[in-house]
């Protein structure tokens, strides 16, 4: 009789690729407490060993402290990371409830580890060793700072209050995001009259008809309807851009900007509570406000330094944005449109598209057939081969997935052929179960296992682009192409790291305001002739994009650049001041503060119904609190990095390849093992300059 070892539950595997289909809500409820109990016991054991060594006066080694600490943290990250990932891409009421039921225990364990005095003293003792390399020193400094920010220096009631607030903040963030998702899913508008879809391109009408078929099990068609409009961006965004029905644009716009602000699903109380708790947490840690806590681990040195950057951008962008708005009004006036006399926010996208067509003869929607997802992926992968010397091949069927739409790819080094990474791609919008936006996350991080064997990195890349319709593949807008390149940049930094210490591999330990450098860098290649023309081919005929259309894209690159920059400044400044200036005693609500900021950062005053803060997930349900400015901060770095390729000549293939390898060997390879300023200077040969960003965004003036 033979015995077999029982496999652990899928949620507790703790290594390798997750078996997503086997991780059920019931398993989360049943096995997360088991895992946390086991990890708690292991943490107790580690503390006992470390305390004994300290009592003997013995200096600890890296392998005695950091390796077991990493293994312990990685097992929690692996299991809870899968749960959080599924909650974002396969959201169901049962999974949402299971996630919420375990979140407080996960936060409590994080606080327990982050506030361990024994661990803290062991890290400080380890920091005193003279045989550490620069990467180890940087990792230790970050770990010690993180423990300080998690309240390791607090005692008694102060630490109890800190931990209770941490628990509440995690629950509030989850609730905030869920209400935004629910509000987005709850609104729809059924269109039955062909006049209601006047101006909409066929691809959008087909998408709205497909939504109607799925919702009502009807025989809806693009030609006859009915059509179902929703607030998910693949439907909402193009509708605002193309619909000739101003009344319907207004209705959709007001629904979008007022999400999660109604009486039954309001995020307003959550916003005030989050801001209040963050401010109290900061003061417990000895900081004046949460912005100071946030900046403690970033490149920017102070709130004033960030304010100065944002003011420079605001001052440059505001007059440009005013001129752009005047041009749109004049365009509407020439067309005899009623909105010329009363221009409103729901008019901007529509008239910007009209003006874009007039000025550049560029029809954004008409370009979709030249950007089918399979060809765009081939172009993106070809660029990565050209620049970084890597081969990316499809490996569908070789890994478990969480949805039939999900693709799996393997990444090999071009020179040696050796495998170096893998990635998941979940490209399409799934209203109702998948949160909006686009992001990259870690599935597996580069490291060495207990036997010294390499663990190769695996990335999650998630987008929300237009899905295939019938036999037609996903035909992408140019903006969706840029988004894919952006997220792939994050993925490249995660996958191409050569740092074996996981605490500094990939994006780990990279200052938050530098983490957007590779992503925004990759966006620039969407405007490179060789790259774009190599992938832009008609999905049916295979014909390349006409050169005239490429020239129009290039010419239109800075179109509405002032408005785009000003929009980002508005978001960033609102975020920063909410976390540096607002308090319950300041005599104004967060929304009132936001509207004060809008007076100098918007050229169209927000409408009364505008409750944008209630859906500002980046700062209330994500990791960007007092850090949204990072997009513009890193854009200075990314534009300057791309200018290194421009300087050697984008048509100079040998020089481009050499510069690309240098970028791989520095920015993409070194991860968080060195300060991003040092990494950038190693690549560029000098500190960063904002000149390239000003030029790329069209704000340089005449």
DSSP string, 562-601: HHHHHHHHHHHHHHHHHHHT--TTSSS-HHHHHHHHHHHH
Answer yes or no: do 374 and 355 share one domain. Answer: no
- Report if residue 684 sits inside a domain: no
Listed in sequence order, the residues at least 6 apart from 622 whose beta carbon sits closer than 8 Å to its beta carbon are: 173
Residue 275 and residue 592: Cα distance in Å, rounded? Answer: 14
Query: Same structural domain for residues 314 and 400?
Result: no
Q: How far is CA 454 from the centre of its chain?
A: 27
List pLDDT tens digits, range 97-144.
999 999 999 999 999 999 999 999 999 999 999 999 999 999 999 999
Q: Are residues 98 and 30 part of one domain? A: yes
Q: Give 2's pLDDT tier (boundaries 50, 70, 90).
A: very low
Residues 416 and 311 in one domain: no
| Distant-in-sequence, close-in-space partners of 477: CB < 8 Å, separation ≥ 6 | 238, 364, 365, 367, 368, 371, 465, 466
> Would you state the structure tokens that stand for residue 142, as one six-digit string?
């970050």
Six token digits for residue 187: 């609104």
Per annotation, catalytic residue among 196, 324, 365, 487: 487
Rounded to whole angstroms, the Cα distance separating 550 from 545 reads 7
Domain interval for residue 105: 10-153
Of 228, 257, 286, the one marking the end of a domain is 257
Do 491 and 382 reside in the same domain of the chain?
yes
Q: Which of 213, 231, 257 is the last residue of a domain?
A: 257
Residue 368 DSSP symbol: G
Cβ–Cβ under 8 Å, residues 7 and 27 = no
Q: Are 299 and 511 in contact (CB under 8 A)?
A: yes
With tokens 């700062």, the residue in question is 619
- Specify the range with the lowest mean pLDDT, choosing from 104-108, 209-213, 695-699: 695-699
569 and 550: one domain?
no
Provide the CATH number for the domain around residue 413: 1.10.1370.40
Q: State pLDDT tens for residues 166-185.
A: 999 999 999 999 999 999 99
Q: How far is CA 362 from CA 9, 328, 478, 538, 540, in A?
A: 54, 16, 12, 16, 21
Tell whether 392 is covered by a domain.
Answer: yes
**pLDDT tens for residues 220-234?**
899 998 999 999 988
Answer yes or no: do 253 and 319 share one domain.
Answer: no
Is the model's pLDDT at 611 over the cut of 70?
yes
Q: How many domains does the chain have?
A: 4
Q: Residue 689 has what pLDDT?
A: 86
Give how far the C-alpha of residue 301 lies from the chain's centroid of Cα atoms, to the nearest Å: 23
Please determine, for residue 369, whether its predicted confidence score (pLDDT) is greater than 90: yes
Residues 581-590: what's their mean pLDDT? 96
Mean pLDDT of 353-373: 90
Which CATH number covers residue 134?
1.20.1050.40
Task: Give 447's contacts (C-beta < 8 A, 6+ positions apart).
Answer: 70, 74, 454, 455, 500, 501, 502, 505
Would 194 be classed as within a structural domain?
yes
Is 677 domain-assigned? Answer: no
Cβ burial, residue 350 (10 Å; 0-12/13-18/19+) = buried
Same domain, residue pair 134 and 15? yes
Q: Does the structure show a pLDDT above 80 at 662?
A: yes
For residues 604 and 325, the answer to whether their CB atoms sit within 8 Å is yes
Give the pLDDT band (50/70/90) at residue 1: very low
| Shared-domain flag, residues 551 and 405 | yes
Residue 678 is assigned to a structural domain of this protein: no
Helix (H, G, I), strand (E, B) or coil at 424: strand
pLDDT tens digits for 377-429?
999 999 999 999 999 999 999 999 999 999 999 999 999 999 999 999 999 99
Per-residue pLDDT tens digits for 531-553: 999 999 999 999 999 999 999 99
Q: How far is CA 679 from CA 213, 472, 612, 699, in A?
A: 52, 44, 36, 28
Q: What share of the chain has pLDDT > 90, as a percent?
A: 85
Identify the residue whose tokens are 């605490």.
503
Query: From the DSSP assignment, how many helices (H) and strands (E) are in the chain?
Result: 26, 9
Let me know whether 124 and 18 are in one domain: yes
Q: Which residues lie across from 537 on neighbouring strands?
A: 544
Question: Is 487 part of the annotated catalytic residue set?
Answer: yes
User: Within a domain: residue 651?
Assistant: no
Entry field: residues in the chain: 702
Task: Find where tokens 């929703």 sit.
Answer: 230
* pLDDT for the residue 6: 67
Three-state secondary structure string covering 93-141: HHHHHHHHHHHHHHHHHHHHHHCCHHHHHHHHHHHCCCCCCHHHHHHHH
Q: Over 80: is that where the pLDDT of 452 sits?
A: yes
pLDDT confidence bin for 3, thresholds 50/70/90: very low
Same domain, 339 and 377: no
CB within 8 A of 596, min separation 6: which ones?
588
Least confident stretch, 2-6, 140-144, 329-333: 2-6
DSSP run (H or E) holding 482:
helix 478-495
- What separation, in Å, do the N-terminal and C-terminal C-alpha atoms of the chain show? 86
- Rounded to whole angstroms, the Cα distance separating 357 from 10 reads 53
Domain C-terminal end among 227, 257, 287: 257
**DSSP reduced 3-state for 420:** strand
Read off the pLDDT band of 5 (50, 70, 90). Answer: low
Query: Which pLDDT does position 188 carry in this prediction?
Result: 95
Q: Identify the band that residue 701 occupies on the pLDDT scale cut at 50, 70 and 90.
A: low
Q: How far is CA 516 from the centre of its chain?
A: 9
Q: CA 692, CA 635: separation in Å to the nearest integer?
A: 10
The C-alpha atoms of residue 421 and residue 444 are separated, in whole angstroms, by 9
Which of helix, strand or coil describes residue 225? strand
Is 182 among the domain residues?
no
Query: Residue 333 belongs to a domain with what CATH number?
Result: 1.10.1370.10
Q: Is the pLDDT of residue 562 over 80?
A: yes
For residues 482 and 536, membership in a common domain is answered with yes
**Model confidence over 31-41: pLDDT tens digits?**
999 999 999 99
- Do 281 and 374 form a contact (C-beta atoms < 8 A)? no
Three-state secondary-structure class, residue 629: coil
- Is the residue at 652 inside a domain? no
Confidence class for position 59, pLDDT limits 50, 70, 90: confident
Mean pLDDT, the chain, rounded, equals 94
């Amino acid at each position: 009789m033979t015995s077999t070892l029982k496999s652990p539950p899928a949620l507790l595997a703790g290594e390798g690729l997750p078996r997503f289909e086997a991780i059920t809500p019931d398993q989360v409820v049943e096995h997360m407490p088991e895992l946390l109990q086991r990890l708690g016991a292991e943490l107790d054991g580690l503390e006992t060993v470390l305390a004994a060594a300290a009592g003997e006066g013995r200096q600890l080694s890296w392998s005695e402290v950091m390796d077991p600490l990493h293994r312990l943290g990685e097992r929690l990250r692996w299991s809870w990371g899968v749960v959080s990932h599924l909650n974002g891409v396969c959201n169901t009421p049962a999974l949402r409830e299971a996630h919420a039921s375990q979140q407080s225990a996960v936060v409590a364990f994080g606080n327990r580890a982050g506030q361990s005095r024994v661990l803290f003293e062991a890290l400080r003792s380890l920091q005193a060793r003279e045989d550490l390399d620069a990467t180890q020193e940087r990792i230790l400094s970050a770990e010690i700072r993180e423990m300080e920010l998690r309240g390791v220096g607090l005692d008694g009631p102060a630490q109890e209050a800190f931990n209770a607030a941490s628990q509440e903040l995690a629950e509030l963030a989850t609730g905030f995001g869920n209400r935004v998702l629910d509000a987005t899913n709850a609104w729809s508008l059924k269109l039955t009259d062909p006049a209601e879809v006047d101006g909409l391109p066929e691809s959008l009408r087909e998408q709205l008809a497909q939504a109607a078929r799925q919702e009502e099990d009807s025989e809806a068609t693009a030609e006859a309807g009915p059509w179902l409009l929703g607030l998910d961006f693949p439907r909402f965004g193009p509708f605002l851009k193309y619909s000739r029905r101003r009344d319907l644009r207004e209705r959709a716009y007001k629904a979008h900007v007022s999400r999660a602000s109604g009486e039954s699903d309001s995020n307003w109380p959550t916003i005030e509570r989050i801001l209040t708790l963050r401010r109290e947490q900061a003061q417990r840690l000895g900081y004046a406000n949460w912005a100071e806590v946030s900046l403690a681990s970033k490149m920017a040195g102070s709130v004033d330094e960030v304010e100065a950057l944002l003011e420079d951008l605001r001052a440059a962008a505001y007059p440009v944005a005013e001129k752009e708005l005047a041009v749109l009004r004049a365009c509407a006036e020439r067309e005899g449109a009623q909105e010329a006399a009363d221009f409103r926010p729901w008019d901007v996208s529509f008239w910007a598209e009209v003006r874009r067509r007039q000025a550049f003869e560029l029809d954004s929607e008409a370009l979709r057939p030249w950007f089918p997802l399979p060809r765009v992926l081939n172009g993106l992968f070809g660029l990565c081969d050209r620049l970084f010397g890597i081969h990316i091949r499809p490996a569908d069927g070789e890994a478990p997935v969480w949805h039939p739409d999900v693709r799996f790819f393997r990444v090999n080094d071009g020179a040696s052929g050796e495998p170096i990474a893998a990635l998941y791609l979940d490209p399409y919008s799934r209203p109702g179960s998948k949160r909006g936006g686009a992001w990259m996350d870690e599935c597996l991080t580069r490291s060495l296992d207990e036997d010294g064997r390499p663990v190769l990195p695996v990335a999650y890349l998630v987008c929300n682009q237009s899905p295939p319709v019938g036999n037609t593949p996903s035909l992408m807008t140019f903006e969706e192409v840029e988004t894919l390149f952006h997220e792939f940049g994050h993925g490249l930094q995660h996958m191409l790291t050569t740092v074996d210490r996981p605490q500094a591999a990939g994006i780990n330990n990279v200052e938050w305001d530098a983490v957007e450098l590779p992503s925004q860098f990759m966006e620039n290649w969407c405007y490179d002739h060789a790259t774009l023309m190599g992938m832009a081919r008609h999905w049916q005929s295979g014909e390349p994009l006409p050169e005239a259309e490429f020239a129009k894209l290039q010419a239109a690159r800075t179109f509405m650049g002032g408005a785009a920059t000003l929009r980002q400044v508005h978001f960033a400044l609102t975020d920063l001041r909410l976390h540096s200036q607002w308090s319950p005693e300041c005599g104004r609500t967060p929304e009132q503060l936001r509207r004060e900021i809008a007076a100098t950062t918007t050229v169209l005053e927000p409408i009364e119904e505008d409750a944008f803060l209630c859906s500002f997930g980046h700062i209330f349900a994500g990791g960007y609190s007092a850090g949204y400015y990072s997009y513009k901060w890193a854009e200075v770095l990314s534009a300057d990095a791309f200018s290194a390729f421009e300087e050697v000549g984008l048509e100079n293939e040998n020089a481009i390849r050499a510069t690309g390898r240098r970028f791989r060997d520095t920015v993409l390879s070194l991860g968080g093992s060195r300060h991003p300023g040092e990494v950038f200077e190693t690549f560029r040969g000098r500190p960063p300059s904002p000149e390239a960003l000003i030029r790329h965004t069209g704000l340089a003036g005449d």
